[in-house]
Amino acid sequence: MIRIGTHNVNGIRAALRRGFRGYWDETTADVVALQEVRCRVDDLPLEAFDGFHVTLDAGQLAGRNGVAILTRRAPERVRSLAAVVTEISPGGRPTDLSAERIVNRDLAAFSHEGRYVEVDLADAPVRVASLYLPKGAAWPYEEGTEEKYLRKMRFMRGLARAFSQARHHQRIAKTCDRTRIDAELAVIAERAASPGGDSRRREGHSADYRPAEEGLASLRLSRLVGRHADIGEISRRRRENYQRWTNALAGLPHCRPLFPQMPEGGIPYMFPLHIDRPDPHFYWLKHLGVPILRWDNIAASTYSTANDYRLRLLHLPCHQSLSERELEWMITSVRKIMARAAPGAT
Q: Are residues 255 and 320 in the same domain?
A: yes
Integer Cα distance of 203 and 306 in angstroms: 12
pLDDT at 118 over 90: yes
pLDDT at 312: 92
What Cα–Cα distance (Å) separates residue 301 from each residue in 201, 307, 311? 8, 6, 12
pLDDT at residue 179, rounded to an integer: 67
Domain that holds residue 55: 4-132
With respect to residue 53, please indicate whether it lies within any of the assigned structural domains. Answer: yes
Domain count, the chain: 2
Instruction: Find, among 83, 16, 80, 13, the residue nearest to 41 by Cα.
Output: 13
Domain match, 128 and 235 both: no
Residues 312 and 234 both lie in one domain: yes
What is the band of 202 on the pLDDT scale with cuts at 50, 70, 90?
very low
Are 182 and 74 part of one and the same domain?
Answer: no
Asked if the structure places residue 142 within a domain, the reply is no
Same domain, yes or no: 187 and 99: no
Residue 35 lies in a domain: yes
pLDDT grade, residue 167 (50/70/90)?
low
Residue 104 lies in a domain: yes
pLDDT tens readout for residues 173-196: 444 566 677 777 788 777 655 444
Give the CATH number for residue 271: 3.90.1150.10
Domain membership flag for residue 159: no
Tell me, yes or no, whether 80 and 184 share the same domain: no
Length of the chain: 346
In this structure, is residue 144 part of a structural domain?
A: no
Look over the chain and give the mean of its residue pLDDT values, rounded to a whole number.
85
Within-domain flag for 155:
no
Same domain, 186 and 304: yes
Judgement on whether residues 184 and 308 belong to the same structural domain of the protein = yes
pLDDT of residue 346: 45
Q: Are residues 241 and 116 in the same domain?
A: no
The reply to whether 161 falls in a domain is: no
- Based on the fold, state whether residues 256 and 111 are members of the same structural domain: no
pLDDT of residue 164: 78
Pick 103 or 89 by higher pLDDT: 89
Which amino acid is located at 52 in the chain? F
Cα 8 from Cα 24, distance rounded (Å) = 13
Express each pLDDT in 287-314 by its tens digit. 888 888 888 766 567 788 888 898 899 9
Q: Give yes or no: residues 188 and 292 share one domain.
A: yes
Find, among 291, 296, 292, the residue nearest to 306 by Cα. 296
Q: What is the pLDDT of residue 123?
A: 82
Q: Which residues contact 53 (CB under 8 A, 6 or more apart)?
A: 70, 71, 72, 73, 74, 75, 87, 88, 89, 90
Q: Indicate if 185 and 313 belong to the same structural domain.
A: yes
**What is the CATH number for 36?**
3.60.10.10
Q: What is the pLDDT of residue 199?
A: 43
